[in-house]
Each structure stands twice: as structure tokens, then as C-alpha cells.
Amino acid sequence: MSGLFLSLEGIDGAGKSSHIDALEALFRAHGRQVVRTREPGGTPLAETLRSLVLDQPMDPLTESLLVFAARRDHVVQVIAPALARGDVVLCDRFTDATFAYQGGGRGFDLDVLATLERWVQWGAAEAEVLLQPAITLWFDLPAEVAAERLAGARVPDRFESQPLEFFRRVAAGYAARAAQSDRFARIDAGQSRDQVWQQVLIALHQRKLIA
């Protein structure tokens, strides 16, 4: 069986994490091995880089280089081997988050990000192919609603403590990226948890990723 790379994306508080357990259970019920992981992170080195990115002040190029360095280690050590084994990789954020947060949120140069994306992902799992998720579940939610959901829910990190305007730009960054590729399945994350989950199931059925 061939591997399946699935990513979850959306602004902080959109509700991604609330559905990862159920997604893992769903694929396991279909007899698949599942590797559940996240970015930045997923390896010891990448988790160390994650804590720097989430805690230390730095300029947008440094931030972009660190998330792509973490991604390279993650892809080489975890994602590519899992896909080669035929596993399902459930990844909480991938490169679309860099385009949305560093590109949209920070206003960093999208051409530089696209160059780093090629360096890190080109040929990483399959020769002459840019490694990307087969499907990206994009939890789309207005920044105001996400902020209300997050208020008091957890201690904010360097991104979560950004003003609403930052998350409006991140949301616009996701929308722009999604407009460029049909691997995005837009999920209206403003609905109830049950309704959101139903949309996830429909997206997976439509793409024939589950029976």
C-alpha cells in the first residue's frame, strides 16, 4: 500500500488539534499504520528548534530558516521513511504554515520561502518530485472567532500572543496558498465540532482516501 501524507492547517485556535485523535483512529480502523507528528518538530533536533522559534525573539529570515531546518530533519528522519513503508503520516502543520505565518503574518518574501521549500522538499521522498501532502485539511476560521476560542484556553506562545491583525494576515496567507492547489480541502471550522468532523469525513471520502 502506498503511503499517505496528510497535513492539518489553520490559524491558532481554528480547531485542528481537536480532530487529530479521531483521524488517527479512523485510519487505524482502516488497517493503516499511522505516524502522528507535528511542525515545527517531530524529531529531537526539530523539537529543539521549535522551542527556539516559539520562545526567542528573532527576525523573519532567521525564523524562516529555523522552521525549514526543522522541516528538513523531520522530512529526512520521519516523513520520507514513513511514506516509504506505506504508512499514513498525520502532520499537524507543514510548509503551508510557513507561507501563512512567515509569509502572510510577518510579511516575509514569498519567493525566498519558495526557494527554501524547493531546497528542503525537492526529491525528499520521490526523485524529481516536490514532497507535499496529498491532502491538506485547512480549518478556515475568522481570526476573531479563533481569538475568542483561545482566550484563557492556554498560555500564549510567541505567535499566539500576536494581535488580531497578525492572524488576519495569516488567514489571508492560507487562503492565497489554498487558491494555488487542489490538495487543500477547506473545512468551515466555524461550525460545531461534530459538523467539522463530518466535513473532514466528506473530504476524505471525496478524495477516496477512506472507503
Ligand X SMILES: Cc1cn([C@H]2C[C@H](O)[C@@H](COP(=O)(O)OP(=O)(O)O)O2)c(=O)[nH]c1=O
Binding site, annotated residues for ATP: 10-17
Candidates 93, 143, 173, 178: give the one binding ligand X (CB under 6 A): 93
Does position 159 interact with ligand X (CB under 6 A)? The reply is yes
209, amino acid identity: L
Hey, which residues between 141 and 160 contact ligand ADP (CB under 6 A)?
A: 149-150, 153
Q: Which residues are annotated as a binding site?
A: 10-17
Segment holding 92, helix H or strand E: strand 88-92
Number of residues forming the site for ligand X (CB under 6 A): 15
Least Cα distance to 99 among 5, 180, 157, 203 occurs for: 180
Count CA atoms within 13 Å of residue 27 on its CB side: 23
- List strand residue ranges (DSSP E) for 163-204, in order: 184-188
Q: Which residues of 81-91 are buried (b: 16+ CB within 10 A; e: fewer)?
A: ebbeeebbbbb
Shortest reach from residue 41's CB to ligand X, in Å: 7
> Which residue is it, cell 483561545?
150
CB nearer to ligand X: pick between 66 and 88: 66
Question: Cis omega (within 30 of 0) on the bond before 142?
Answer: no
Does position 192 interact with ligand ADP (CB under 6 A)? The reply is yes
Evaluate the CA torsion angle 97, 102, 107, 111 in order and state its sign.
negative
Binding mask 66-85 for ligand X (x = CB under 6 A): -x------------------
Candidates 4, 49, 125, 196: give the one binding ligand ADP (CB under 6 A): 196
Does position 109 interact with ligand X (CB under 6 A)? The reply is no
Beta 88-92 vs 4-9: how paired, if at all?
parallel
Hey, which residues between 20 and 59 contact ligand X (CB under 6 A)?
A: 38-40
Summarize as ranges the residues that interact with ligand ADP (CB under 6 A): 10, 12-18, 149-150, 153, 192-193, 196
Summarize as ranges the residues that interact with ligand X (CB under 6 A): 12, 17, 38-40, 67, 92-93, 97-98, 101-102, 157, 159-160
